[in-house]
Structure 1
Amino acid sequence: MIRINEEIKKELSDIIRQDLKDPRIIQTMVSVLNVDTTNDLKYCKIYISVMGNEEQKKGVIEGLKNASGFIRREIARRINLRNTPELIFKIDDSIEYGIRLSKIIDDIKSNTEEEDESNE
């Protein structure tokens, strides 16, 4: 299953980057983070990261849902599977969460350094 998930992830990334023409998708930075396919290959949850605001995230999800038939056909054409799974797109905010945490840590660190300098 891991090999299938990685292959779908690779092909899906290529399809999003090269083949989709929807402005909601191509004008936003979209990354495929993880793919989780059921054992019977009926469903495939695709976790994506979208750098942008909530409106852009919703637009990307709508664009991917609208293009899911095309994406599914492309995956079937590129990967030889007994079934081509139904695609379910989900937003994964873990990268943005990590960036926010990193910024908070940097802010705390710089405030601590400023306090140390003022105490000297």
Structure 2
Amino acid sequence: MNQRLQRLADQIQRTLAVLIRDEINDPRLTGFVTISSVKVSPDLGYADVYVTILEPSQDGGMNKESHKASLEVLKNAAGFLRTELSHTMKTRTTPRLRFHYDEVVAHGNYMTHLVNEAMQKTKASATDDDTND
């Protein structure tokens, strides 16, 4: 991606983060929505917006069902967000927004949970071995 497209993607990311936080008040939008990255097509026709939805989870798992509703809200608000984005951008056209769920952070949280669980089992078995001796 060339430097101009990267600057535009960064501007879209910053502006959308503020718009989602301040302007979208839908109760189906659960959790904390974070825009992890934006990729703009070379013809400026589309912007692929990758979002992560962070929710407190007891088991550390990846609950895809809870993210579907939030992602659907963002997809339905894409037209509104594009209009608001056009007011702040200094380009001739404003890219159409396509939202995608970015599973990288959720997968990392799940892996961290598994490692912590394994560490606790190891400590518990070490403690049991010490008490048996």
TM-score (norm 2): 0.81
Aligned to 2:87: 77
Question: Is it true that 1:98 corresponds to 2:78 in the alignment?
Answer: no
- Structure 2: gaps of 5 or more residues: 56-62
Deviation at 1:48, TM superposition (A): 0.6
Deviation at 1:64, TM superposition (A): 1.4
Any idea what SS the aligned residue of 1:89 has? strand
Counterpart of 1:45 in structure 2: which amino acid?
D
Structure 2 CA distance, aligned partners of 1:101 and 1:13? 27
* Bigger Cα Rg: 2
Structure 2 CA distance, aligned partners of 1:31 and 1:13? 7
Identity of aligned residues (%): 29
Structure 1 CA distance, aligned partners of 2:65 and 2:122? 36
Deviation at 1:65, TM superposition (A): 1.8
Aligned to 1:3: 7
Deviation at 1:107, TM superposition (A): 1.1
Any idea what SS the aligned residue of 2:28 has? helix
Alignment of 1:1-120 (within 5 A): 1-25=5-29, 27-52=30-55, 53-120=63-130
- Structure 1: gaps of 5 or more residues: none
Structure 2 CA distance, aligned partners of 1:12 and 1:6? 10
